[in-house]
Structure 1
């Protein structure tokens, strides 16, 4: 197939193929699939990503460092699709708000250049990138956008608040869409009604700290030390450690530097979205990850639901052991599927406009 093919004649659902670089547990891929796109392959260095990606999306998992992936590899994974979508979320730690003290020379930012290398070599019809907002202030981002524009892409990008796309957490993300076929934009939010913690996890069965529900092994909460159990019992939803008796305060809170982090050891609030899920979201002391009512941190399943994964999303094979570090990394690093779904609908709307020469009727997101 000619790499520069851009025709949409005879487009069918099978003629669109997505390759997801840095696919993780499949959050983006799952969202794109829910929007009606065919995800052909996902690439990640972590072998733990194989089971969730393949089981929930049907895509082929490739366990490989993206720096070792060639353009010919990706072209092969696209197969004979006439519309090729290169998607991904290069690891963002160098630009996240949790690592602002890092220098921009941190070699992990070169992963974005690997994504750029493949996009420029392959020239897929559609490119989409999701990442942390802080990346937009870096020269590497400007270089990435300029490289796409030099290849003839129409590029748009903006910061979004995930709550506006049905994700029940206050997570801000940077979303880029680029097309060889014409102007493409991320569709506006479907709703302004924010989903709350209570709406998402309020009906789950109660468990204790260190406990696991017998019907769902991911509905498991980390243990609490005796002093942290006293601390969470002294915590109010939406409050801070400043609400505690002084005898419960940690030494780090007494120091000047610790006083600027009031949200650690906090409880969520039922009637608001959750805070941003991180890879450590299962730990009470790692942020505002205390359950609003029960004396424990949120469970792994609750964290996944707050990331907008469906209740039946499978992260582990039946024989795999549940470990908080492994599952926390898969869940916290994931692209929220509902955001991925919005990106997928935007791509389909764009292709519909290209095919018909007119925008689709209001509310019609289906292309085929």
Structure 2
């Protein structure tokens, strides 16, 4: 059994996928107190060590490197915070959070694990590293120069049977001195991915959340029992009446354009009429989902009524934390802790466990087949 350490672990989506793939959890690291609270409270994650560290700080990075070395980790995984790369906000090549990618890669080289996994948003491919090349190419070059086979691939929700159109970039690397020569690492990866995903189909909201009770504004509980099974986090904000009136105007697959001006603020009217541009964000604002289609990418901002197309297909509200968690492939027995906003953020920022399970299976199978 291969052991792993998960950096920038959040609520543990990445870790859960690796555990499902048969890897042993040894160490998790995150700076956010809410991440620590959630990660350590879930029974399948609680057996490993959790370190609350700020990896911006060189001293703490050096301390972590020594701890990982002492634990003899086989696989280093992580999703350095991606807000600086996200297309859902204003992208910035100078965002300090982008530097955590460099910190992660430096830690990886220092601890020299057999295998490395890094996850990020697709927009990272268009951002340039300070060296002048785009980030994915920089990461691959850096690892190759330090003795690794390294490639990047995209994984989409439909490949692993998610009910969302999420797409993420993964960097996969194997230490060259651990395996026989691989002349085309990318082709080997792609063949494995195809083998694991060829029978999967895109799921819809109906497949994933239809069985959950139709709660409205202010309804639901932290814990409910359905057919003898406890379901957590299926409760709803208590919306203001003006917001409820707006939501009620939105038909299936509709959005801001369907809300009469009488229900909108001057700001929203201007947005509706193209005063701020007419991109996809405006099109999806106040958007209602459809039962027989997947959702868009679940994001941390789903907690905001104006974030995008996240209204329930029937109920006049946003998706609950539990509904969002199901779309992310979290198990129902994971109870998310903290405020409403914290819970949505933990779920939206997570790597879907089914994504990391696939990547872990692909990488460890390649390692097994090619190791000396």
TM-score greater than 0.5 by the shorter chain: yes
RMSD: 2.1
SS at match of 1:112: helix
Do residues 128 (structure 1) and 117 (structure 2) align?
yes
- Correspondence for 1:340: 356
Deviation at 1:287, TM superposition (A): 0.9
Deviation at 1:202, TM superposition (A): 0.5
Deviation at 1:220, TM superposition (A): 1.3
Deviation at 1:75, TM superposition (A): 5.0
Deviation at 1:246, TM superposition (A): 3.2
Deviation at 1:102, TM superposition (A): 3.7
8 Å CA contact retained: 1:153, 1:178: yes
- Correspondence for 1:92: 82
Do residues 64 (structure 1) and 53 (structure 2) align?
yes
Match of 1:76 among 67, 88, 95: 67
Do residues 137 (structure 1) and 126 (structure 2) align?
yes
8 Å CA contact retained: 1:28, 1:334: yes
- Correspondence for 1:117: 106
SS at match of 1:95: coil
SS at match of 1:93: coil
The within-5 A match list for 1:17-28 is 17-28=3-14
Which of 65-74 and 147-156 deviates more? 65-74
SS at match of 1:111: helix
Provide the C-alpha distance between the structure 2 equivalents of 1:135 and 1:238, rounded to a whole number of angstroms. 30
Match of 1:209 among 210, 213, 217: 217
Do residues 288 (structure 1) and 309 (structure 2) align?
yes
* Structure 1 unmatched ranges of 5 or more: 1-12, 317-321, 358-368
Provide the C-alpha distance between the structure 2 equivalents of 1:224 and 1:254, rounded to a whole number of angstroms. 25
Provide the C-alpha distance between the structure 2 equivalents of 1:307 and 1:53, rounded to a whole number of angstroms. 16
The within-5 A match list for 1:144-163 is 144-163=139-158
8 Å CA contact retained: 2:286, 2:305: yes
* Structure 2 unmatched ranges of 5 or more: 130-134, 180-184, 225-230
Deviation at 1:283, TM superposition (A): 3.2
8 Å CA contact retained: 1:19, 1:74: no
8 Å CA contact retained: 1:241, 1:265: yes
SS at match of 2:74: strand
Provide the C-alpha distance between the structure 2 equivalents of 1:121 and 1:40, rounded to a whole number of angstroms. 18
8 Å CA contact retained: 1:264, 1:288: yes
- Summarize deviations over 1:306-364 as a string: whole Å, max 9, x none: 11101111323xxxxx4121111111111111101111111221132125x8xxxxxxx
SS at match of 2:287: coil
Q: Flag the 1:256–1:72 CA change in 2: closer, same or farther, 3 A.
A: closer
Deviation at 1:274, TM superposition (A): 1.0
8 Å CA contact retained: 1:20, 1:86: yes
Normalised TM-score (structure 1): 0.85
8 Å CA contact retained: 2:75, 2:117: yes
Match of 2:241 among 212, 226, 230: 226
8 Å CA contact retained: 1:239, 1:266: yes
Provide the C-alpha distance between the structure 2 equivalents of 1:144 and 1:259, rounded to a whole number of angstroms. 35
8 Å CA contact retained: 2:220, 2:234: yes
8 Å CA contact retained: 2:6, 2:28: yes
- Correspondence for 1:239: 254
Provide the C-alpha distance between the structure 1 equivalents of 2:64 and 2:301, rounded to a whole number of angstroms. 34
Provide the C-alpha distance between the structure 1 equivalents of 2:362 and 2:66, rounded to a whole number of angstroms. 23
Deviation at 1:238, TM superposition (A): 1.4
8 Å CA contact retained: 2:157, 2:202: no
Match of 2:346 among 325, 330, 341: 330
8 Å CA contact retained: 1:222, 1:283: no
8 Å CA contact retained: 1:51, 1:315: no
Q: Flag the 1:190–1:76 CA change in 2: closer, same or farther, 3 A.
A: farther
Provide the C-alpha distance between the structure 2 equivalents of 1:85 and 1:123, rounded to a whole number of angstroms. 9
Normalised TM-score (structure 2): 0.84
